[in-house]
A and B are shown apart, each in its own frame.
Chain A
Amino acid sequence: GENVEQHPSTLSVQEGDSAVIKCTYSDSASNYFPWYKQELGKRPQLIIDIRSNVGEKKDQRIAVTLNKTAKHFSLHITETQPEDSAVYFCAASIRRGGGNKLTFGTGTQLKVEL
């Protein structure tokens, strides 16, 4: 099955700096790559996603890049703010038959320091 690895496990940045989180996946058939943000005690919420037919997507301060050849994708957050502090999860899925199962990475604890 699919295996998703995520790095780093913790990331501390100064407010205003950029943060980058990287993920690799194992199954070249994966075609959908969402990123979720989870605040302490809350549910995961989608912040951005990318499909295999594009290489980059941006939404204000957040961007995701996908390299299908290398089987890795990255989350970029610019001009970080304290409210960006949370755990971020990457995921990958394959649309096969009737299924669309997400495999999650183990998460990155991002701390934005003042």
Chain B
Amino acid sequence: NAGVTQTPKFRILKIGQSMTLQCAQDMNHNYMYWYRQDPGMGLKLIYYSVGAGITDKGEVPNGYNVSRSTTEDFPLRLELAAPSQTSVYFCASSYLGQRSLGETQYFGPGTRLLVL
């Protein structure tokens, strides 16, 4: 298993440009998440999905959109890039059963985004 994969590893965007950060997992996990990590800070949840076709906002969703058309893929879309979106973006996945109180979230390697 490749686990959680993310592309690209690094990207420079100009203000106002758009891009999609790709995330895929091959562990048949039902839950997927997008976090951002600013320098010296913890991770903040942007969006998450509990299954194909179902997404919900996290703590910092403004400026981002997501979709989940398949179990494996969970892309994150930035429509109008702003300098405040300069960050490292991590995708994660986990499997939660009906009675689980919480399960391990497995993180991808991250995408470093610089908006100038």
Contact = CB atoms under 8 A, between A and B. Distances in A.
B100 A1 contact: no
Given A43-B108, A43-B110, A100-B94, A105 B101 contact: no
Contacts, number: 67
A39 to B, nearest CB: 12
Nearest to A93: B102
Contacts of B96: 95, 100
Interface residues of B, number: 28
A53 B101 CA distance: 9
Interface stretch (A44-52, A56-64, A67-75): A44-52
A103 B59 CA distance: 9
Interface in A1-49: 1, 6, 31-32, 34, 42-46, 49
- 6 tightest A-B CB contacts, nearest first: A32-B102, A104-B42, A43-B107, A98-B50, A31-B101, A51-B101
Interface of B: 31, 33, 40-45, 48, 50, 54, 56, 58-59, 90, 94, 96, 100-110
Interface of A: 1, 6, 31-32, 34, 42-46, 49, 51-53, 89, 93, 95, 98-107
